[in-house]
Amino acid sequence: MPAAPGRAAALVVLAGVVAALQVGKLPPALPALQADLGISLVQSGFLLSMVQLAGMLLAILVGLAADGAGLKRSMVAGLSLLALASALGGAASSPWMLLSLRAVEGLGFLLTALPAPALIRRLVPPAQLPGMLGVWSTYMPLGTSLALLAGPFVIPTWGWPLWWELFAVVSAAMAFAVHRVIPADPPVERGPTGSSLLQRLGDTLGHRGPWLVALMFCVYSAQWLAVVGFLPSIYTEAGVAGALLGVLTAGAAGVNMLGNLASGRLLQRGWAPTQLLLTGFGCMALGSALAFGSATEGHPWWRYAGVLLFSSVGGLVPGTLFSLAVRLAPGERQVATTVGWAQQLSALGQFFGPPLLAWVAARSGGWQFTPWVTGACCLAGAALAWWTGRELQRRSGR
């Protein structure tokens, strides 16, 4: 039975959280997988990023399909695929089988997450849209932090295979809830050439705005997943384990929501998107320098404060970018396609970010060169933010 718009939009956010759980379930399981399956550090990096393979290759096509076939139908299909892949992943007996199923989970993640901003736009009044998109942008850090918090309690007792099966059940339950609660998709328009897949693709990629949003997502997500994804391994190497490991890593991911939520509120209060983006990228660079630089060596709490700064204020970036994706889409029919293109380049960053950071750490014998990797990403993000400000001024005629 369809729910009230507010409840339906909240369920869309919750479905995104369930999809993000599938991304976040891996980091706390890495030590167990390394012990059981003999996975190396670089293979661990690819396991972290493999869920992004489908996004890197197919996101804009999935966005096109979601725009044309129906947003609700896409989300139900994605959650069902996540349930199936996670159920099979619990029986994986080799790194390659697990890698393959992580790629399948990536497709399910796309089908779930890409329609969400356009679906929220359909469900809530225009005045509430920036705030609700800020709430939506919390789906990734919330799902990731919940998995990071629960993993150290569940995996040592029950094992990583049951951890995978648990998320299969959760995804299947959410697919059923979305099917029952979210209002049905409107009838698909047929006939006009302008609504064809190729036309929508050309309309999206032929405009500068979707490219700017997508490239900023790329340089943001590459560094965020690399740093947060390896925190359990970094802290395990440092002798941190059990509940403290779960709390520290979940806290680092969870504070990202503060920036996500703040971005929506600040945009509603008249802050310029460029201000928020420059603040976010600047604090990510500073936080990474505190967390991994030589100046804080031997001061673990200063280093953790740097991680918190990196993730929390950095959360302004995705919250702002989701709002810009809706704002800079060429038209109503290109919103999911624009989000798909942003997700595709975001996935590209997440695919290469963790293996690159792992390679740098393996070559240097530690994590001390991490600020060079993240600093380069932040510098590129700041340049793109400035360019986006110019684009917004051009569109407003100033």
Q: Which two tokens stand for residue 203?
A: 């309309």
Quick one: how far is CA 141 from the chain centroid? 7
In the CATH scheme, what architecture does the domain 5-180+196-396 have?
Up-down Bundle (1.20)
* Cα angle value 232/234/236 (rounded, 5°): 65
Task: State pLDDT tens for residues 209-251.
Answer: 899 999 999 999 999 878 887 777 777 766 776 677 777 877 8
Assess contact for 15 and 108: CB atoms under 8 A: no
Q: Pick the closest to residue 236 from 31, 61, 378, 53 (CA basis).
A: 31
In the three-class reduction of DSSP (H, G, I as helix; E, B as strand; rest coil), residue 333 is classed as helix
pLDDT of 53 higher than 50: yes
Phi and psi torsions of 184, nearest 5°: -65, 150
pLDDT number for residue 196: 64
Q: Quick count: other Cβ atoms within 10 Å of Cβ 242?
A: 10
Q: CA–CA separation, 114 vs 356, rounded Å?
A: 26
The sign of the torsion formed by the CA atoms of 379, 381, 382, 387 equals: positive
pLDDT number for residue 65: 72
Within 176-327, strands assigned E span none
Task: State pLDDT tens for residues 367-392.
Answer: 788 889 999 999 999 999 999 988 88
Q: Quick count: other Cβ atoms within 10 Å of Cβ 386?
A: 12
pLDDT of 108 higher than 80: yes
- Domain positions in the chain are 5-180+196-396
In the three-class reduction of DSSP (H, G, I as helix; E, B as strand; rest coil), residue 4 is classed as coil
pLDDT number for residue 189: 55
Helices (H) and strands (E) in the chain, counts: 19, 0
Assess contact for 60 and 340: CB atoms under 8 A: yes
Q: What is the dihedral of CA 72, 74, 76, 82, to 10 degrees?
A: -150
Task: State pLDDT tens for residues 133-168.
Answer: 878 878 887 888 788 788 888 888 888 889 999 999
